[in-house]
Structure 1
Amino acid sequence: MNGFVIAGTASGVGKTVATLAVTRALEAMGQTVQPAKAGPDFIDPSHHAAIAGRPSRTLDTWLEGEDGMRRNYDRGTGDVCVVEGVMGLYDGNQSSTARVADVLDLPVVLVVDASAGMESVAATALGFREYAERAGQDIDVVGIIAQHAHGGRHERGIRDALPDKLEYFGRIPPISGLEIPDRHLGLQMGDERPVDTDALDEAAVHVRANRLLDIAREPPSLPAQEPNPARNRRVAVAQDTAFRFVYPAVIERLRARTEVVTFAPTMGDDLPDCDGVYLPGGYPELHAEQLANSPSLSTLSARASGGLPILGECGGLMVLAESLTTTNERTYSMAGVLPADVRMHERYQALDHVELRARAKPFGIDSATTIRGHEFHYSSANVASDATFAFDVRRGTGINGEHDGLTEFETVGTYCHAHAASGVFDAFIDSL
C-alpha cells in the first residue's frame, strides 16, 4: 500500500485538520484511505476513524520496534495510507515523525502555518528539508500544505516562493468548522465531536490530491510472521465512554487468539462470562458515579479474588483501585481489587514513552523482561505500604516513580499503555 506522511513544523500547526481534509480529498477521487498516526495517541486516530470509516494504525518504533511497525503498516488495508505525524517533524527522541518516515521510506508533506507569511513559508519548508540533508538523515520532504492560507495573491506568493525541490500540495483555508474542541488529555474524541464534514469538504477542494497520489510510495515489505496459536478462551473487554483508549492492533491480536466479548460498565452491564478481562484506558473520572453503581465492579472484585486474570491500563487501573477522587473533591468507591486510592489532578502527572522491567512473572512474563509502552495521565495513585508491583520502571514515571503494575491475585493494573507488539497481550492470553 502506497503512503505518505503529513508532518508539522511544530505541535498545534494543524496536522490533524490537514490529515482529515486530505482524506476527504482522496475519497472524493474514489480512493480508500487507510489512516495512521505516528507516535502514541488515541485521540487523533479517533478523528481519523470518524472520517475514514476505518481504524487508524499506530506507528511507533519505541512501542513496536522497527519490524513491528512495518508489519503494523502492512496490516492496513486501502488504496493509500495517510500518516499523521506527531509534534514537529524532528521532535521526539524515541520515535519522531522523521524516524517513522525514515523506517518506512515514505515521503513527507510538511504542514506550514501560512497565516502571516508568504515567502517565509517557503523559507521554513526549505529549512526543514535541508536540516535532514545536513544532519545526514534520509528524510524526503517533498512539499508543503499551507495551513490558514487564503487564495489569490496569498496563495500565489507561497507557490512562487517555493524552490523546485519543494512542491505545493494545496492549502487549508481559514474557515470556521475546522476546530476540534479540547479538554484534559488533549482533543475530544472523534465520535464525541467530529470535525464538520461540510467544512472539511470545503477545505478539501483546495488540496491537490492527484499530486499526493503521485508522490505516495510503498514501504519495503517484510516476510509474513507466524501467528501465535489461537486459544479456546473468552476475553471480556470494557468498551464504552469510560474505556476507549485501545490500539486497533491490540483488539486484532485478542480477536485472532481468543473470543472477545465487550461490556459497557457505565451503561450498567455486568461482567460477562469470561476467562480474562481487559480494562483499557479512557475517562473513568468523567463517569465515576455511574461506575461506582455498576454491577460489573462488584463482579470484578469477586472474580479477581477467585483468580480471574485481569489487565487494567491507566483508566483500568483507576477502576480496579479502592477509590477515585475527582477534581471537585468527590470520592467514589471503585472495584477495590488493588490496594490504592486514586486522585485526579488539574495538571498531567506523567507523559512519556516508558520502559518497564518485569519483577515477579506477571502473566508468566519472565522476570527481567523489558516492556515498552507509553503513559499519559492526570491521576496519581496512593498505594498501600505493603503493595506488590509487577514492574520496575526503567524509563518513565509509573505509579510511584520506581514501580508500575500494581498487582493482587492474578490482576495487574498499570499506567503503561502497551501495544500488541510489546508481548504483554500474548502473555496475558497465554495465562488464561
Structure 2
Amino acid sequence: MKGFVLGGTSSGVGKTVAALAVTRALQDAGEEVQPAKAGPDFIDPSHHEQVAGRPSRTLDLWLEGTDGLRRNYHRGEGDICVVEGVMGLYDGDGSSTAMVAEALDLPVVLVADASAGMESVAATALGFREYAERAGRDIDVAGVLVQRAHGGRHAEGIREALPEDLTYFGRVAPNSDLEIPDRHLGLEMGEERPLSEDALAAAAENVRTDRLLDAAREPPRPSDDEELERTGARIAVARDAAFRFCYPATTERLRARADVTTFSPVAGDDLPDCDGVYLPGGYPELHADELEASPALATLADRASDGLTVLGECGGLMALCESLTTTEGETREMAGVLPADVEMRDRYQALDHVELRARDGALTAPAGGRLRGHEFHYSETDPDTDARFAFDVARGDGIDGDHDGLTEYRTLGTYCHVHAESGAFDAFIENL
C-alpha cells in the first residue's frame, strides 16, 4: 500500500482538517483510504475513523521502533495511506513527523497556513526542503497543500511562486464549519463532533488527488516476522466513553493471543468472567458519577484482592485508585484497588515520550526490562506512604517524578501508555 505524510509547518496549521479533506477527496476519486497518525495520539485518529470508516494506525518510532513502525503500517488496509503528522515537521526528539517519514521512506506533503501569506508560503516550503538537505536528512518534501487559502489570485499566487520541483497539491478554503472544538487532552473525539459532511465535501473539491497518488510510495517491509502464540485466556477490556484510548494494534494483539470481551462500566455493565482485565485510558473524570456507581468497579475490587490480573493505563490507573476529585472539587469513590487518590488539575501535569525501567519482575516487563511509552494527563496522583511502584522513570514524569506503575496484588496502574510493539501486552498475557 502506497502512502504519503501530511507534515505541518508548525502546530495549529490545520493538519487534522487537511487530513480529513484529503481522505474525503481520495474517497470521492474511488480510493479506499487507510488513515494513520504520526505520534502517540488517540483523538485525531478518532476523526480519521469517522471519515475513512476504518481505524487509524498509530505510527511512532519511539513506541514501536523501525520494524514495528513498518509492521504496523503494512497491517493497514486500503489502496492509499494518509499519514497525519504531529506538531511541525521536524519537531520532537522521540519521534518527529520527519523521523516517521524517513523510516517509512514516504514523501512529505507540507501543510502550510496561507491565511496571511502567498509568495511567502512558497518560501517556507522551499526552506523546509532545503533544511533537510543541509542537515543530511533523507526527507522528501514533495510539495505543498495550503490551508485556509482562497481561490483566484490567492491560490494562483502560491502556485506561481513554487519552484517546479515542489508540487502544488491543492488547498483547503477557510470555513468555520471545519473547526473542531477542543478540551483538555486535545480536540473533542470524532464521534462526538464529526465535521459537517457538506463542509468536508466542499473542502475536498480543491485537493489534487491525481498529484497525491502520483507522489505516493510504498514503504519497505520490516526485517523480521512476528510469531504469536495463542493462549486460552479470556481478557475483559473496558470500552466506553470513560475508557476509549486504545491503539488498534493493542486490540489486534490481545485478540491474536486471547479471547477478548468488552464491557462498559459507564453503562452499568458488571465485570465479565475473565482471566485478566485491561482498563485503557480515557476520560474517567467526565464520568465519575457513573463509575462510582458501577458494579464493574465493585466486582473488580473484590476479584483483584483475590488475585485477578488487572492492567490500567492513565484513565485506567485513575479508576483503580481510591478516589477521584474533579476540577469542580467533587470527590467520587473509585475501585479502591490501588492505594492512592487522584485529583484533576486545570493544566496538564505531564506530556512526553517516556521510558520506564522495571524494578523487579512487573506485570508488563521482566526485572530490569525497559518499556517505552507516552504520557499526557491533567490529573495528579497522591499515593499512600506505603505504596509500591513497579517502575523507575528513566525519561518522563510518571506518578511522582521518579516512579510509575502503582502495584497491589496482581494489579498494575501506570500513567504510561504503551504500544503493542513494546512487548508489554505479551508480558501481560503471559502473566495471566
TM-score normalized by the length of structure 2: 0.99
Residues 94 and 143 (structure 1), Cα distance of their counterparts in 2 relative to 1, 3 Å cut? same
Q: CA deviation at 1:364?
A: 6.7
- 1:43 and 1:306 mapped to 2: Cα distance? 35
- 2:62 and 2:224 mapped to 1: Cα distance? 21
Amino acid at match of 2:371: I
In the other structure, the counterpart of 2:387 is: 387
In the other structure, the counterpart of 1:322 is: 322
- 2:243 and 2:276 mapped to 1: Cα distance? 16
Residues 1:96 and 2:96 aligned together: yes
Residues 1:301 and 2:334 aligned together: no
- 1:184 and 1:364 mapped to 2: Cα distance? 28
In the other structure, the counterpart of 1:332 is: 332
- 2:43 and 2:222 mapped to 1: Cα distance? 29
- 2:79 and 2:409 mapped to 1: Cα distance? 47
Residues 1:197 and 2:186 aligned together: no
Amino acid at match of 1:239: R
Q: CA deviation at 1:224?
A: 5.6
Which aligned pairs between 1:102-251 and structure 2 lie closer than 5 A?
A: 102-223=102-223, 225-251=225-251
TM-superposition CA deviations, 1:284-326 (whole Å, max 9, x none): 0000000000101110100000100000000000000000000
Amino acid at match of 1:352: D
Identity of aligned residues (%): 70
Residues 1:424 and 2:421 aligned together: no
- 1:289 and 1:220 mapped to 2: Cα distance? 48
- 1:125 and 1:40 mapped to 2: Cα distance? 26
Residues 163 and 364 (structure 1), Cα distance of their counterparts in 2 relative to 1, 3 Å cut? closer
In the other structure, the counterpart of 2:349 is: 349
Amino acid at match of 1:185: L
- 1:263 and 1:112 mapped to 2: Cα distance? 42
TM-superposition CA deviations, 1:1-35 (whole Å, max 9, x none): 10000010000100000000000000001100000
Amino acid at match of 2:293: N
Find the residue that maps to 1:49 and give its secondary structure: helix
Amino acid at match of 1:132: A
- 1:297 and 1:206 mapped to 2: Cα distance? 50
Q: CA deviation at 1:222?
A: 2.4
- 2:308 and 2:247 mapped to 1: Cα distance? 23
TM-superposition CA deviations, 1:76-100 (whole Å, max 9, x none): 1110000000000000011000000
- 1:367 and 1:237 mapped to 2: Cα distance? 26
Which aligned pairs between 1:12-161 and structure 2 lie closer than 5 A?
A: 12-161=12-161
Find the residue that maps to 2:98 and give its secondary structure: helix
- 1:299 and 1:36 mapped to 2: Cα distance? 37
Find the residue that maps to 1:372 and give its secondary structure: strand
Amino acid at match of 1:233: A
Q: CA deviation at 1:359?
A: 1.1
Find the residue that maps to 1:124 and give its secondary structure: helix
Is the Cα contact below 8 Å between 2:305 and 2:409 reproduced in 1? yes
Higher mean Cα deviation, 360-369 or 183-192? 360-369
Higher mean Cα deviation, 118-127 or 363-372? 363-372
In the other structure, the counterpart of 1:399 is: 399
TM-superposition CA deviations, 1:142-197 (whole Å, max 9, x none): 10011110001111101000011111000000123101000000000001111112
Find the residue that maps to 1:412 and give its secondary structure: strand
- 1:254 and 1:243 mapped to 2: Cα distance? 16
Is the Cα contact below 8 Å between 2:389 and 2:405 reproduced in 1? yes
Residues 1:260 and 2:260 aligned together: yes
TM-score normalized by the length of structure 1: 0.99
- 2:61 and 2:174 mapped to 1: Cα distance? 34
Find the residue that maps to 1:22 and give its secondary structure: helix
In the other structure, the counterpart of 2:284 is: 284
Could you list the runs of 4 or more consecutive aligned residues of structure 1 that deviate by over 4 angstroms after TM superposition? none
In the other structure, the counterpart of 2:10 is: 10
- 2:227 and 2:363 mapped to 1: Cα distance? 20
Find the residue that maps to 1:282 and give its secondary structure: coil
Q: CA deviation at 1:223?
A: 4.8
Amino acid at match of 1:12: G
Residue segments in structure 2 that go unaligned for 5+ positions in a row:
none
- 1:225 and 1:133 mapped to 2: Cα distance? 33
Amino acid at match of 2:73: Y
Amino acid at match of 1:147: Q
- 2:211 and 2:298 mapped to 1: Cα distance? 57
- 1:150 and 1:103 mapped to 2: Cα distance? 35
Is the Cα contact below 8 Å between 2:364 and 2:425 reproduced in 1? no
